[in-house]
A and B are shown apart, each in its own frame.
Chain A
Amino acid sequence: NAGVTQTPKFQVLKTGQSMTLQCAQDMNHEYMSWYRQDPGMGLRLIHYSVGAGITDQGEVPNGYNVSRSTTEDFPLRLLSAAPSQTSVYFCASKLGESGRRRSYGYTFGSGTRLTVV
């Protein structure tokens, strides 16, 4: 049981390049989210998904795209990298809210440290 796996762990991009941050979970979690963490600002929600085929925007979605074709995978695409996107990116997942299941917190991946030069 690997939990939430993010790849790559580190990445350097040039301004204007595109790339995809990968996120996979093996816990059959319905909910998945992408956050970015910048110094002094806490974690901010980029995009989230409540199930396969369903995605929505968070607080800071501009410059990022997501898709959720399977329950397991939730990739984050940077369309045209900018220095302002230099950050640490975390993917997280949790069980959904159906029935009487208790709403435990999210499980986070170990993060991707992205630098855009």
Chain B
Amino acid sequence: RKEVEQDPGPFNVPEGATVAFNCTYSNSASQSFFWYRQDCRKEPKLLMSVYSSGNEDGRFTAQLNRASQYISLLIRDSKLSDSATYLCVVPPGGYNKLIFGAGTRLAVHP
């Protein structure tokens, strides 16, 4: 089993839709988690940090279920500009190393 697994995608949704991405991790020692966004041929950029049960930032909500070792990212009212690849990132017990999921691609269409 991979250390971090994500929905493979791609997700093709219309503007205004609500979409959710899932991520499972195998290392139960992990304490904090991150969602990064990566645009085509660009560097990853931090979208959200998740330190407890969840975090909300505008249209974006991240939830953590430690018992099931599961993280989700919910995007409400999708915009065309949300089209990107979303990377689930897990530090396995320390922040000097990050383990990245392979990413889920989102395409929002008019």
Among A44, A103, A104, residue most surrounded by chain B Cβ atoms (within 10 Å): A103
Is B1 among interface residues, defined by CB-CB distance under 8 A?
no
Give 1 or 0 for each of A81-115: 1 = CB within 8 Å of chain B CB: 00000000010001001000001111111110000
Cβ 8 A contact of A108, one of B44, B97, B102: B44
Interface presence of B11 (CB below 8 A): no
Q: Cα distance A28–B55 when bound, in Å?
A: 28
Give the CA-CA distance A110 to B87 in the complex, in Å.
Answer: 16
Instruction: Tell me if A25 is interfacial: C-beta within 8 Å of chain B.
Output: no
- B20 close to chain A: CB less than 8 A: no
CA distance A41 to B34 in the complex (A): 18
User: Residue B43 contacts which of A40, A42, A48, A90 (CB distance < 8 angstroms)?
Assistant: A90
Distance of A84 Cα from B91 Cα, bound (Å) = 26
Binary contact track B36-69/A, C-beta < 8 Å → 1, others 0: 1000001111100100000000000000000000
Chain A residues with Cβ below 8 Å from B94 are 97
For B89, the chain A residues whose CB sits under 8 A away are: 105
A56 to B96, CA, bound (A): 10
State the CA gap A107–B44 with chains docked (Å): 8
Chain A interface, number of residues (Cβ within 8 angstroms):
25
A111: B residues at CB distance < 8 A? 42-43
Known contacts being A105-B34, A108-B45, A111-B43, is A45 close to B98, with CB within 8 Å?
A: yes
**What does the 1/0 interface line of A47-61 toward B look like (CB < 8 Å)?**
010100000101000
B32 CB to nearest A CB, Å: 6
27 contacts between A and B (CB under 8 A): A31-B95, A31-B96, A33-B98, A35-B100, A42-B101, A42-B102, A43-B44, A43-B98, A45-B97, A48-B97, A56-B96, A58-B97, A94-B95, A97-B94, A97-B95, A103-B32, A103-B49, A105-B34, A105-B46, A105-B49, A106-B46, A107-B46, A108-B44, A108-B45, A109-B43, A111-B42, A111-B43
